[in-house]
A and B are shown apart, each in its own frame.
Chain A
Amino acid sequence: MTAPRRMGLTGNEAVALAWKQLRPHVVAAYPITPATQIVERFSEYVAQGEVDTEFVPAESEHSALSACVGAAAAGARVLTATASQGLALMHEVLYIASGLRLPIVMNVANRALSAPINIHGDHSDTMGSRDAGWVQIYARNVQDAYDRTLLAVWVAERARLPVMVCLDGFTLTHSLEPVEVYPDEAVREFVGEAPPDGYTLLGGEPITVGPLALPDSYMEFRRALAAAMERVPRVLEEGVRAFRQQFGRKLPALVEARGTEDADVALVIMGSYADSAEQAALRGRVRGQRAGLVRVVTFRPFPAAALRETLAGARDVVVLERADTLSGLGGPLGVEVRAALYGLPQAPRVTDVIFGLGGRELRDAELDALLQGELPGGVVYLGVEGAHVLEPA
């Protein structure tokens, strides 16, 4: 195994480099802040002849993902990227990609949704796609975004499901970090050729893809899709094992836990702010508070069993999240963590903290104050003027 090369890359550059190494047959994409540089950089690779991908510069995100559907149905390895409004515009086609069981991999540069328009980071966009039948993985840092993009192709092609690899807008997409880049050959070896699939348009058989299924058959298709999603944790576990074997790096598959074994207070978070949360937990430890952290790596399928196991002993669970369901129940992660813990004897009290919408910074002092104060349960909007607490209905 050749040694990895250490490079300074932004999240977008790292993703574009991963794409080049993955050598997809087709990339169909439409630029949008903060994902634009992924597509820009990749276009350069194509223009320089560094990768022989057929690049389809679509006229919209809807068409970009539609082209991905066509290419993937034809048996091609397909990648795309988007963010925010672009993902929202793709919404219809997301369900088609998963319903047709197409292993498309998409990087999402997480960004707030309009209105008001805002180009900065939060998880509203991908949370809006959480039930679209895509595997969702959230990167912690630039290295993780790079690693997970490589892993996603392995997983997608074995689970026969589309995968989103999410990286926080600006905090990851535009931040320069040192990244260990693997040799091209190692990446080729890792992803290899896609496992054979007898159901491609160009396989020689006149197959019909995307038929009309009425009440006598529709539910079987959907149940099969749910079953495919249920198999994903196993595929992911195999994937991270293969990844470690190939690249020597150990990636957590579903959740990443730090100091939760004896924790009274466990923070639960996704994405790049895991670093801030981990530091806050460590400061808590210094103060004598038994605090720990769980980072949800894979949000779809939801790692309920892993969370139950990690959080069962805590007195308090503090969910930190960058999205809201606007349902009165708090954010989507909080709702699902509560659902996962429901029925546990002496289930921890859950405080759902919504922070960082539209790129608002999370300050250490805010986190410390939260951990030092009486945890209220319910839902907290952190850092909002006139912040208030709601009891779940």
Chain B
Amino acid sequence: MSLNLRELSQRTQGLAPGHRACAGCGFPVVVRLLFAVARRPLVVVNATGCMEVVTTLYPYSAWPVPYLHSAFENAAATASGVEAAVKALRRRGQLDTHPKVVAIGGDGGTYDIGLQSLSGALERGHDFLYVCYNNEAYMNTGIQRSSATPRGARTTTSPVGRVQRGKPQPRKDLTEIVAAHGVPYAAQASISHWADLARKLEKGLAVVGPAFVNVLTPCQPGWDYPPERLVEVARLAVESRYWPLYEVEEGRTRITYLPREPVPVRAFLEAQGRFRHLLTDEEAVAEIQRWVDVHWERLRNKAGTGQ
């Protein structure tokens, strides 16, 4: 499973050019890597959201594989059906290929409105990979808070006002919630660490049964950074341990990337406009740093000595 960049670039089919993702958007990286590591034909089921909107404007499609969009909250349930059909058709000798079903949704469609259908599909044990492209808010509808939005972030429904300064609550830990289902594979990744991400997608595709990869994919308008700093912002999230890279395989937690010299979370916050109001508030920044430290420690304990 060793990948080098050259090999990867040759294998990348990618999304067809002309899709309408913003400059500096993170999710095309995820899809391109997914295609690059896939060794089986894929069928993609996509939740309503930015990805669906910018890649399937009729009569165009950017998808080089069979693709189905149904609704916002049901990507995992819809994928369940596709997977069930694959099984039944193969059993009766009506399908020669063995495609892998991949469901893709944003954090809105995954953490929030789609959590029930995701949980159901995980529990039923369907053979599919769910990829969450997590940009930490409802970006498609214009940057509203989600349960993936971190504490303090400014969104249009957690605005900065006189009595409230961005989102009051911390984000919820969906990767752990998924892992708690006892699925064969759950992982957290970032578009900044492409080899790590590619490996996780590859593992998720290879596993028989439900797999989940939660990928941090910054959103230029939502996070407010210069488009060319996409990868850098994502990297700061990892290097600050704000977004740890780890995987839970058959119940065993392993940190897959250990920042050698972790940068203070302030560096991550400073790289984006959505935290601008916090930067003069030392206590607020310290509070976020404490949250990061506590969660990192918790993860370290879970991972034990094996990182």
Binding site for B on A (CB under 8 A): 25-26, 28, 52-54, 56-60, 62-64, 66-76, 78, 92-93, 96, 100, 201-214, 217
Contact = CB atoms under 8 A, between A and B. Distances in A.
B71 A54 contact: no
Interface stretch (B21-29, B119-127, B154-162, B202-210): B119-127
Given A93-B71, A93-B74, A208-B56, A74 B81 contact: yes
A211 B82 contact: no
B71 A92 contact: yes
B170 to A, nearest CB: 27
A242 B104 CA distance: 43
Interface residues of B, number: 46
A201 B84 CA distance: 13
B140 to A, nearest CB: 11
Interface of B: 43, 45, 52-53, 56-59, 61, 63-71, 73-74, 76-89, 91-92, 95, 97, 99, 116-117, 119-121, 123-124
Given A62-B117, A202-B95, A74 B86 contact: yes
A26 B66 CA distance: 20
Closest 10 CB pairs of A and B: A70-B81, A59-B120, A67-B81, A63-B77, A74-B85, A66-B74, A210-B69, A25-B88, A66-B77, A71-B81
A53 B84 CA distance: 9
Which of B65, B84, B92, B97: most chain A Cβ within 10 A?
Answer: B84
A16 B153 CA distance: 52
For B45, B64, B123, the residue with the greatest tally of chain A CB atoms inside 10 Å of its CB is B45
Nearest to B46: A210
Given A25-B85, A67-B84, A70-B84, 10 more contacts: A57-B124, A66-B70, A69-B78, A70-B81, A70-B83, A71-B88, A201-B68, A202-B95, A203-B66, A206-B65
A63 B66 contact: no
Contacts of B57: 211-212, 214
Contacts of B79: 70
Contact of A69 (B43, B81, B95, B120): B81
B78 A67 contact: yes
A62 B73 contact: yes
Contact of A62 (B43, B66, B74): B74
Nearest to A24: B88
B92 A59 contact: no
Given A54-B84, A66-B117, A212-B58, A206 B45 contact: no
B238 to A, nearest CB: 33
B78 A66 contact: yes
Nearest to B74: A66
Contact of B89 (A69, A76, A92, A217): A76
Contact of B64 (A60, A206, A217): A206
B84 A76 contact: yes
B259 to A, nearest CB: 38
A71 B85 contact: yes
A71 B82 contact: yes
Q: Which of B70, B81, B82, B92 has the most CB of A within 10 A?
A: B81
A26 B81 CA distance: 8
A74 B117 CA distance: 19
B89 A25 contact: yes
A54 B85 contact: yes
A93 B81 CA distance: 13
